[in-house]
Amino acid sequence: MALSGLVKRFGEKVAVDRLDLVVPTGSFYGLVGPNGAGKTTTLSMATGLLRPDAGTATIHGVDVWAHPVEAKAMIGNLADGVKLFDRLTGEQLVTYTGMMFGLSRDEIGQRTADLLRIMDLGEAAGTPVVDYSAGMTKKIALACALVHAPRLLVLDEPFESVDPVSAANIEDILRGYTQGGGTVIVSSHSMDLVQRMCDHVAVIGAGRLLAAGTVDEVRGGESLQDRFVELVGGRHHTEGPEWLRRS
């Protein structure tokens, strides 16, 4: 995936400011940045959900905004902060997504069963998604992102509120996926997770790219956490106000 010169303004505020980023095929790419840095905005523009004011996004050489249908067929997207069609049961939702991509009925049945098993959602297959917990909702959304076997996975905060066991299972799936030639882009606030899972990382702050490259290049001997704070700034060293300390 290649982003070049992406710009997005919301009124006066520039959310993403001439951002260039190249994600190599087969990489496990982490995207980190403080709240409001423009991660979600960038990923929305890269996946065809938000029209950029300027710049292009291409996926395996296909321009996302010029040929959205071809590009989107290659993307599996787990968007953050959007709802699902939560009146459907988990099984119906995954089937629906498979149908939208025009898979055959046999394929859909097979893949849905596999995905529900992998995500430990077999028990809840017949429960409406609205009754799922936050973690289960994430998992069913991830299953929907995987059902059409995309070449690129774009995951916005995939591990938020997912329990450690499921997270480890999902991590295994994603690792196997990249070894099979798939590309994963993960945005996250958890530096430890990015340092452990990803081979590449990009740091975004105030809509600009602050650093990008392999994880080792970016952290340069420090922990990713320290390097991130150094790049982004804004760390306070205080013990908090007096009244908040009880003893």
Residues 115-134 that bind other proteins (CB under 8 A): 116, 122, 125-128, 130-131
* Dist. CA 19–CA 9, nearest whole Å: 13
Kindly state the DSSP code that residue 129 receives in the 8-state scheme: G
Amino acid identity of 31?
L
CB 135 to other proteins: min, Å:
16
Which of left, alpha, beta for 9 (phi over 0: left; psi -120 to 50: alpha)?
beta
To the nearest 10°, report the CA torsion of 111, 93, 135, 123. Answer: -70
- Our finding on whether 72 is near other proteins (CB under 8 A) is yes
Q: Which is nearer to other proteins, 60 or 87 (CB)?
A: 87
Binding to other proteins by residue 63, rule CB under 8 A? no
Whole-number Å distance between alpha carbons of 209 and 196: 21
- Looking at beta carbons only, is 97 or 188 nearer to other proteins? 97
The rounded radius of gyration (Å) of the Cα atoms in the chain is 19
* Residue 7 found at the interface with other proteins (CB under 8 A): no
Contacts with other proteins, 151-190, as mask; x by CB under 8 A: ----------------------------------------
Per DSSP, 243 falls in state G
Q: Which is nearer to other proteins, 99 or 168 (CB)?
A: 99
Q: How many binding residues for other proteins (CB under 8 A)?
A: 46
Per CB under 8 A, the list member of 24, 36, 102, 176 interacting with other proteins is 102
Residue 120 C-beta: closest distance to other proteins, Å? 13
Which segment (13-21, 89-97, 175-183, 207-215) binds other proteins by CB under 8 A? 89-97
Is there binding between residue 100 and other proteins (CB under 8 A)?
Answer: yes
**Closest to 46 measured CA to CA, from 84, 81, 12, 20:** 20
Give CA separation, 17 vs 126, 131, 188, 236, in Å.
44, 39, 20, 26
**Does 41 contact other proteins by CB under 8 A?**
no
For position 137 contacting other proteins by CB under 8 A, the verdict is: no
> Does the protein bind other proteins through residue 89 (CB under 8 A)?
yes
105 touches 124 (CB < 8 A): no
Q: Tell me the CA end-to-end span of the chain in Å, nearest whole number.
A: 53
Binding of residue 139 to other proteins (CB under 8 A)? no
Report if residue 103 touches other proteins, rule: CB under 8 A. yes
CA dist., res. 20 & res. 176, Å (int)? 28
Please tell me whether residue 11 adopts helix, strand or coil conformation.
coil
Contacts with other proteins, residue ranges (CB under 8 A): 47-51, 68-73, 75, 77, 79, 81-89, 91-92, 95-105, 108, 116, 122, 125-128, 130-131, 144
